[in-house]
Structure 1
Amino acid sequence: MKGIVMTAAGGPEVLQWQELPKPAIQRPDEVLVRLKGAGINPVDTKLRTRGTFYPDRSPTILGCDGAGIVEAVGAEVKNFKEGDEVFFCFGGIGGPEGNYAEYVTVSYRSIAKKPKSLSFPEAAAAPLVLITAWEALHDRARIQPEHRVLVHGGAGGVGHVAIQLAKRAGARVCTTVSSEEKGEFVRALGADHVINYRETDFVEAVMEWTEGKGVEVAFDTVGAGTFEKSCEAVAIYGDLVTILQPSADMNWGTARTRNLRFSLELMLTPMHLGLTSALEHQADILRCCAELFDSERLSIHLRQTFPLGEAAAAHRLLEQGGMMGKLALEVG
């Protein structure tokens, strides 16, 4: 098969088009998937730049998100058969089990049936951001109807899904963006209040929107100073969830005074640590979201696709920043 191999840590040029052995089922819980699409995520560019979780495993194929057609199943596989169209987030953090390739083997516990309403590239662009947003809002922050929620970076990959999931949960949502174009985009997704952080102090805007109380939930997809400053915008006893590493020199004074509850969200943890029940939970999330897609209650914005052989170009575009929605590779 053909695939994109990361030959070393470095710039996009380390992603090389190579001929590779076609993978085969090694464990009874695995399925062999003929990939039709692979999602591109910021974690891919970080792993490419810094090195993977498993630097001693080779070849290294990136790509956590995949969508394709089941070609073979192991003896213990349940609920899936040859010919099923599936999507999933698994692999791509080191070693050969990534999705920038024509085939991959995946545990059936991590996959779900592809939404019928999505193309393969659209489905491949969705899993990581769906799981991240769902876990952050439902599992970490315990979002409730009528909660007021602040989503940072609402036009981005995770952010644009988080807005929709929060609205489906009955919350009122405000979000930060950097341009009027992005403002129009997030309003169409259902955002109740849009803050252009380049023109307006987001804390002041949030406090005005909430009549001085702050939001019950803030979801940070930006990190650095935005995370620390968000403490001022969260209601007393509220929740602040981040997908980034808090700064070592962060001042926790405001957070302590307001009795905030903090959560860290890294959806790769179950894969990295081999947590079977957590992987099954993530597949359940994908099944729930597939129903939302097919009932037109959820959408994924796929900005652009690239042929598999142009993965390096996709990385270059993503690293320019300011992305609306997602990128994906078309395979086959």
Structure 2
Amino acid sequence: MKAAYITECGPPQNIQYGDLERPDATGTQVLVKVGAVSLNPVDTYIRNGANYWELPNPFVVGCDLAGTVEAVGEEVSRFVIGDRVWGTNQGLLGRQGTFAEYCSVDQDWLYPIPAGISENDAAACSLVGVTAHLGLFRDAKIQAGETIFVHGGTGGVGSMVLQMAKRAGARVIATAGSDEKAERCRALGADVVINYNTENELQAILQAAPQGIDVFWETLREPNIEDIVSVMKDRGRIVIMAGRDARPEFPVGPFYVKCLQLFGFVMFKASADELRACADDINTWLADGSLKAQISHTLPLSEAARAHQLQENNTLGKEGTIAGKIVLNP
């Protein structure tokens, strides 16, 4: 089978596109004929040598996939040959990744694709969708009528948070870096959009929410906790899911006096049951149209190295040329 893989960590140019042996499906594994994969910032960190865990060699890159069941192991009970499925949490914790024509995945990490939803859309919502769901509902426990602030409302995770928060009945304030991206945030349901390149963000937040923010969703890799705490309402919740190397100053006094809570998490440490609960809601919302995939670029799998460079230029280089996800097709 064709696959995008590395034999040594390093820059995007280390990704090779070539032939690897097709995996088998045994036990509780499902062999998926991959129709679409999507790229996440964590994929670039792992490829570049972030020492989270030991990697297989060769290592197929990628976390997300959508496709069709080609074969099932003898212990599989959730799926049959021909089912359309999506999944995430691959290429993590030592598992092989998804950027290949075929991928063998434990049934616990796969979910049915709703009728009428494309493989591209299912793949694009995978990791970012479960990330948004975990932070909003398991951790922050957002409630109807509350106000949430989302940094980057057109980003991979940010666009999912925006839509899910609206689905939950919250008022959403989001940021964008251009008028075009601001208009996209409004189309996704944002009540207020702040252009961080032309407006004072803190002043704009307090103007839009004079009583403060109930839930602050931070996507920046270098969060300013002092500023975040200053705009929070008493008993507010702050969600952080980026910035592995960040070491910001922490305003202890204002934080505890406001009775705030701070949640940090990574989706790959969620249990299979937790992720399946996320997937159930995601499927319901995809099916009823209240959640829509945000795809910025679609490329052939053979251009995986180019896709990684593009993602890295935006995540680390802050080029601002991506609004949503990069999806690749074998």
TM over 0.5: yes
Residue 294 (structure 2) aligned to one of 301, 312, 316: 301
Letter aligned with residue 89 of structure 2: F
Q: Paired residues, what number?
A: 322
Which 4+ residue blocks in structure 1 deviate beyond 6 angstroms?
A: none
Residue 309 (structure 2) aligned to one of 316, 319, 332: 316
1:6 aligned residue: 6
- Secondary structure at the counterpart of residue 60 of structure 2: coil
1:32 aligned residue: 31
- Secondary structure at the counterpart of residue 197 of structure 2: coil
Q: Does 1:263 align with 2:263?
A: yes
Q: Report the Cα distance in structure 1 between the residues aligned to 2:33 and 2:55, rounded to whole angstroms.
A: 26
In structure 2, the CA distance between the partners of 1:139 and 1:248, relative to structure 1 (3 Å rule), is same
Q: What are the residue-to-residue correspondences of 1:83-102 with 2, within 5 Å?
A: 83-93=82-92, 97-102=96-101
1:273 aligned residue: none
2:235 aligned residue: 237
Letter aligned with residue 98 of structure 1: G
Q: What are the residue-to-residue correspondences of 1:70-219 with 2, within 5 Å?
A: 70-93=69-92, 97-211=96-210, 213-219=211-217
Q: Report the Cα distance in structure 2 between the residues aligned to 1:100 and 1:9, rounded to whole angstroms.
A: 16
- Secondary structure at the counterpart of residue 106 of structure 1: strand
| Structure 1 residues 1-21: Cα deviation after superposition (integer angstroms, max 9, x where no partner) | 111111222111000012111
2:281 aligned residue: 288
Q: Does 1:220 align with 2:218?
A: yes
1:18 aligned residue: 18
Gaps of 5+ in 1: 271-277
When normalised by structure 1's length, the TM-score is 0.92
RMSD: 1.6
Q: Is the 8 A contact 2:6 2:47 kept in 1?
A: yes
Letter aligned with residue 256 of structure 2: R
Gaps of 5+ in 2: 315-319
Q: Please, which moves more after superposition, 279-288 or 107-116? A: 279-288
Q: Is the 8 A contact 1:61 1:96 kept in 2?
A: no
When normalised by structure 2's length, the TM-score is 0.93
Q: Report the Cα distance in structure 2 between the residues aligned to 1:317 and 1:199, rounded to whole angstroms.
A: 25
| Structure 1 residues 71-125: Cα deviation after superposition (integer angstroms, max 9, x where no partner) | 1112222231000000000311365621011111111111111132322122111
- Secondary structure at the counterpart of residue 279 of structure 2: helix
- Give the fraction of aligned pairs with identical amino acids, expressed as a percent: 34
